[in-house]
Amino acid sequence: MERSLEFGNSAGLSPVHSFGIDRLKVVPGSVTFDNQYPAGGEELLLTDVFPARLAGIVFEPKAGYVFEYDYDNSKVKIMEANAAGGVLVETSTADQSALTAVRFLAWGY
């Protein structure tokens, strides 16, 4: 399974701003999915960036999908409207290779 994950710039990880709290880091990144999306979500470990605590993460919507982060299992889920067009449910489509460079913003310590 191939999946790419990029943070900040090509030089690697770097905090963007520290909002008056010395250790708070805000880091932009992106994730590209492949044709093997597993039920339950794709692993997205951020412990090397935020060793103490990932406080939050938001993803841009893309191609009609929205994304949800499972903090307990460190996974990003691809969500879509159910058949009735109401509640969001995790996608059942395994091939998500069209979802490239889905941007996110994460913050933590």
* Model confidence band, residue 21 (pLDDT cutoffs 50, 70, 90): low
What pLDDT does 86 receive? 77
Domain boundaries of the chain, sorted by first residue: 4-108
pLDDT tens per residue across span 56-105:
999 999 999 999 999 999 999 999 988 776 789 999 989 999 999 999 99
| Ranges 21-25, 76-80, 104-108: which has the least confidence | 21-25
Q: How many whole angstroms separate alpha carbon 109 and alpha carbon 107?
A: 7
Q: Which pTM was predicted?
A: 0.78
> How is the beta sheet containing 4-7 ordered, strand by strand?
4-7, 25-32, 102-108, 54-59
Domain at 4-108, CATH class: mainly beta
Q: How does the average pLDDT of the chain come out, rounded?
A: 83
The two beta strands, 75-81 and 42-43, are antiparallel
